[in-house]
Amino acid sequence: MSARIGVVTFPGTLDDRDAARAVRIAGGEPVELWHGDDDIKGVDAVILPGGFSYGDYLRCGAISRFAPVMNSIIDGAKGGLPVLGICNGFQILVESHLLPGALMRNESRHFICRDQKLRIENADSMWTRDYFKNQEIVVPLKNGEGNYFADPATLDMLEGEGRVVARYLDVNPNGSARDIAGIRNERGNVVGLMPHPEHAVESLTGPTTEGLPFFTSVLTSLVSA
């Protein structure tokens, strides 16, 4: 039986279908989760997809963080449930305090969409173990507020504990501190990522298929758990 991966739809979520497709291609079973429902249907892992939940009003992710479904996800994450937040999902994870730091407006003050080179810095998280450390990949990046910020002590802590999951290579597209593209929690079950691996799972539509291991990783993690 394949693992059941929940994909949450908030009002204004855009990449939910893409995340579900990526789960399917990876061999998992995507399960639709609704923001207003605190039942997460017993899923084995959760993806918070990209988009503009609540129109990014107030602050990206600030309203979604209070959705009923987040109560169950936050509880689950604290108990080891694998959670991947992509783009707006990453913003929701930092607003939920499952991950440290904040995501600010891009340094250029423009939305940017580009094929972005990354280095996988940590292949120990539940969402990156099908990569090898220092593997270089190209996946789409598209955000207006992807400029990762944290105080120097937090950044040092993240670096020291190997919790920087992915780093921008060649170009830092949004001004992120220390070129950080993604981070994980201490336990490695929660990962926040600004680029979009779900858009790099088919050679037909993506620049590469190098995003797919994020989705196979969690299946591997669940089997070995």
Q: Are residues 29 and 2 in contact, defined by beta-carbon separation less than 8 angstroms?
A: yes
Contact string 49-88 vs another protein (x = CB under 8 A) = -xxx-xxxx-------------------------------
Cβ-based nearer residue to another protein, 6 or 50: 50
Pairing of strands 45-48, 4-9: parallel
Cβ-based nearer residue to another protein, 54 or 125: 54
Specify which residues 139 forms β-bridges with. 116
Catalytic hit among 60, 198, 199, 210: 198
Binding residue for another protein, selected from 144, 146, 188, 213, defined by CB under 8 A: 144
Binding to another protein by residue 4, rule CB under 8 A? no
Of 11-19, 121-129, 176-184, 217-225, the segment contacting another protein by CB under 8 A is 11-19
Q: Are residues 106 and 192 in contact, defined by beta-carbon separation less than 8 angstroms?
A: no
Is 196 annotated as catalytic?
Answer: yes
Q: Report the residue count for the chain.
A: 225
Pairing of strands 112-120, 164-168: antiparallel
- Kindly state the smallest distance separating residue 79's Cβ from another protein, in Å: 30
- Binding residues for another protein restricted to 176-205, rule: CB under 8 A: 196, 198-199, 202, 204-205
Specify which residues 106 forms β-bridges with. none
d(CA 113, CA 75): 33
Q: Is 132 exposed, middle or buried (0-12, 13-18, 19+ CB in 10 A)?
A: exposed
Give the footprint of another protein on this chain (CB under 8 A).
11-12, 14-15, 17-18, 21, 50-52, 54-57, 108, 110-114, 140, 142, 144, 196, 198-199, 202, 204-206
